[in-house]
Every structure is written in C-alpha cells, then in structure tokens.
C-alpha cells in the first residue's frame, strides 16, 4: 500500500494510510501513514466498536493536513478489550501439565511438536499458510529463537541483518501457533488466542524474554525490534507480561 500511495501521489492524488507494521512503513516511506498498535488483521481495532474505529479513521485522515511528507505518526491509544463472549475465553490449545522441561527452549520445542497436527490440519483446511517467511522449518526457527534467548546472538539468514532474521523467525513462530489454534474446534476469538499465546505458552514467555534482550542488544537492527516488532504494545502493558527466565 505504501508503494501504491507514492504512485498515486505522483499522479496528484493525496493519500493517507493505516500501518500495522511500523518497520515496513519506515522503509517504504509513504507520503502519510498512521501506525496503530493493534493485532495484525485489525487496522481499526476490535469489531463492533464504531466510536473507537472512528477515532482511528479521523486520525489517519488528519494526516492529509500535513504540509509535507513523508509523515509517520503513532496512534496514542491501544485497542479496547475484545467483547467476543464467553466462548472466546476458552484456551485454544492445552498442553500437558505434567511435563517439566529444563528450559523454555525445551518447552518451546515440545509445544511445536504438540501443535504440528493442529497446524497441518489448518493448512489442509485453508490450503495456505503464513508460515515460511524465514525460509527455514518451524522447528529450526524455534531452535534459533531459543538460542538467541540463551546467548543474545543469532546467525543472520542470507541477505538479511540479524534483526531482520530474528523478526522473520518470530513471525513464522507466531503464525504457526495462531494457525494451529484456529484449527481446534470451538471457535476461540482473536483476543483469546492472543492471550493464550502470550501468557499460556512457552513461546510467548520466551518472546517476552527475547524482547527484553533486544532492547539491550548492541546490534542496532536487533535493538529496533524491541519497540513493537517482538511483542505488541498492549501485551507489554499487561501485568502478566513479565519476562520469564530460562
């Protein structure tokens, strides 16, 4: 959308847009963009909340008043809670409670194995997947992320910086969990899946730890991830989001 906006502006048509991934917008530099700290797929926040959605829309439209660009502003509010009913509060996927792993990395590997059947079913049903941006198997992605959490270093993929590598691996891991959760019967809502991922899984706990490591990293490409690319701002503000140690 950012590249298309530049094309339209060159033709004399003023544009503005809503951005869910700040780093992409910073790189493309569209004429005007409003970054929002909402979950992917929800550029205007939660459904059935017209007052909040109107505030987001007006904030994006007000960027048209800027005398020159590129302009990138942050929306100051988090999305309100998702009112999806009692069914949305059910944990999408439960893990064995009697397993005691020596580290979050070992727990993550176990979760990935347990989720594989649900993920494969999701791919079969949808005939597509968002997993694969990094180009490495999900088991390998999990191992690399766990390695970063333990050592604070990550081997860059071909043609990518360490920060870009870590971001792609994290996006693959998150997509794997979300798609697996969507395959389980019961229709858990988006907010329930997000809460489950960040607060009930080893993957979520590990990424909270990774986010803290990114903030103090020497590599600038990794350091930039700590702003919003690892953990959503709404999750970081939650009292349950204290990073767990290995």
Q: Note down pLDDT in tens along the chain; length 246 residues.
A: 677 888 888 888 899 999 987 777 887 889 999 998 887 678 898 888 899 999 999 999 999 998 777 999 999 988 887 665 444 444 556 665 444 556 889 999 999 999 999 999 999 988 999 999 999 999 999 999 999 999 999 999 999 999 999 999 999 999 999 999 888 766 567 778 888 899 889 999 999 999 999 988 988 889 888 766 788 877 877 777 765 544
Distance (Å, whole) CA 131 – CA 172? 5
Q: Which of 54, 74, 94 is the last residue of a domain?
A: 74
Residue 244, domain member (yes or no): no
Strand partners, 19: 35
- Domain limits for position 51: 2-74
* 14 within 8 A of 64, measured Cβ to Cβ: yes
Residue 70, domain member (yes or no): yes
Asked if 97 and 200 sit in the same domain, the reply is yes
Asked if 126 and 227 sit in the same domain, the reply is yes
Distance (Å, whole) CA 77 – CA 226? 19
Provide the number of structural domains found in the chain: 2
Asked if 59 and 118 sit in the same domain, the reply is no
Asked if 55 and 149 sit in the same domain, the reply is no
Q: Is the backbone peptide bond immediately before 202 cis, with ω within 30 degrees of 0?
A: no
Q: Which of 53, 74, 95 is the last residue of a domain?
A: 74
Residue 231, domain member (yes or no): yes
pTM of the prediction? 0.69
Asked if 169 and 54 sit in the same domain, the reply is no
Asked if 70 and 99 sit in the same domain, the reply is no
18: nearest Cα among 58, 51, 78, 47: 58
């Amino acid at each position: 959308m950012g590249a298309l906006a530049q094309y339209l502006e060159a033709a004399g048509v003023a544009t503005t847009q809503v951005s869910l991934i700040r780093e992409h917008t910073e790189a493309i530099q569209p004429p005007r963009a409003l970054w929002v700290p909402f979950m992917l797929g929800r550029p205007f926040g939660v459904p059935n909340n017209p007052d909040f959605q109107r505030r987001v829309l007006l904030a994006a439209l007000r960027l048209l008043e800027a005398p020159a660009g590129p302009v990138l502003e942050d929306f100051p509010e988090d999305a309100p809670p998702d009112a999806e009913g009692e069914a949305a509060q059910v944990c999408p996927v439960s893990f064995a409670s009697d397993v005691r792993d020596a580290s979050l990395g070992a727990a993550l590997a176990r979760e990935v194995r347990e989720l594989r059947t649900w993920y494969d079913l999701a791919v079969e049903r949808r005939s597509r997947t968002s997993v694969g941006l990094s180009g490495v198997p999900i088991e390998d992605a999990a191992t690399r992320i766990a390695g970063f959490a333990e050592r604070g270093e990550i081997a860059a993929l071909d043609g990518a910086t360490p920060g870009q590598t870590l971001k792609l691996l994290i996006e693959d891991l998150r997509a794997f969990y979300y798609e697996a959760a969507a395959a389980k019967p019961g229709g858990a809502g988006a907010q329930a899946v997000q809460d489950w991922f960040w607060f009930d899984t080893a993957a979520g706990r590990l990424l909270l730890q990774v986010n803290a490591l990114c903030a103090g990293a020497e590599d600038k490409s990794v350091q930039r991830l700590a702003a919003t690319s690892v953990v959503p701002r709404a999750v970081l503000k939650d009292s349950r989001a204290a990073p767990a140690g290995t």
